[in-house]
Amino acid sequence: MGGDDFHKGVKPSSQKLDGSNLKILIVHTRWNQEIVDPLVIGAVHTLEAHGVHPSNIVIRDVPGAYELPGAAQKLIRQSQQQSNLVSNIVDDLLNTPKLSDEVKGPFDAAICIGVLIKGSTMHFEYIADAVSHGIMRVGLDTNVPTVFGVLTCLTDEQAMQRAGIGKGDDKGHNHGEDWGTAAVEMALLRLPLT
């Protein structure tokens, strides 16, 4: 590595990434939505490019980045309960209201998308720390890979560059595309069959 060989960013996986049987959850913020929207679109495009069926991509929004881990965990848990046959039979017997048919769980991976931009107070530091730890915990506690799709930027322009909507000639790179690929790769992670 070094010199001209240096490849900035993630190298493509050597595995075949076939997402045709996957169900993916995207939770995104409404804070900084002008920058969040292209990131969500980038993630969806890449999921579909890997074969994920549009009807198997469920998208939900929350107010801000601080809400991302709690919302992702809640929706992942709901999708796991919905696919549990025993609890379905109990629900039928008790006539419990069903979750929407749209959530055809369980999700195989989730992507949390948001944009934090540093202001003049310590708010940014507290939220970034809580959200990054929270999203990691969701993935480990639910056993559903949960991708950290949160930009933590010092300026608006840094965030726009990372959403592929930078000003000027260089629009930057849409990180949402990488997050879609990461979700498929992590959802398909298996030991080889013997």
**Active site (catalytic) residues:** 123
Using CB under 6 A, pick the residue from 17, 23, 26, 31 that binds ligand DLZ.
31
**Is position 186 an interface residue for ligand DLZ (rule: CB under 6 A)?**
no
Which of residues 152 and 181 has its CB atom nearest to ligand DLZ in the complex? 152
CB 113, min distance to ligand DLZ, A:
10
What does residue 130 show for φ and ψ, rounded to 5 degrees?
-65, -45
Q: Is 66 in the site for ligand DLZ (CB under 6 A)?
A: yes
**Can you tell me the distance from the alpha carbon of 29 to that of 65, in angstroms, rounded to the nearest whole number?**
6
The residue (of 67 and 185) whose beta carbon lies closer to ligand DLZ is: 67
Site for ligand DLZ in 116-135 (CB under 6 A): 116-117, 119, 123, 127
Question: Rounded to an integer, what distance in angstroms lies between the CA atom of residue 29 and that of residue 122?
Answer: 20
Residue list 151-180, contact with ligand DLZ (CB under 6 A):
none
Query: Could you tell me whether strands 24-29 and 57-62 are parallel, antiparallel, or unpaired per DSSP bridges?
Result: parallel
103 in Cβ contact with 24 (< 8 Å): no
The reply on whether position 70 binds ligand DLZ by CB under 6 A is no
Pair 161, 117: CB distance under 8 Å: no
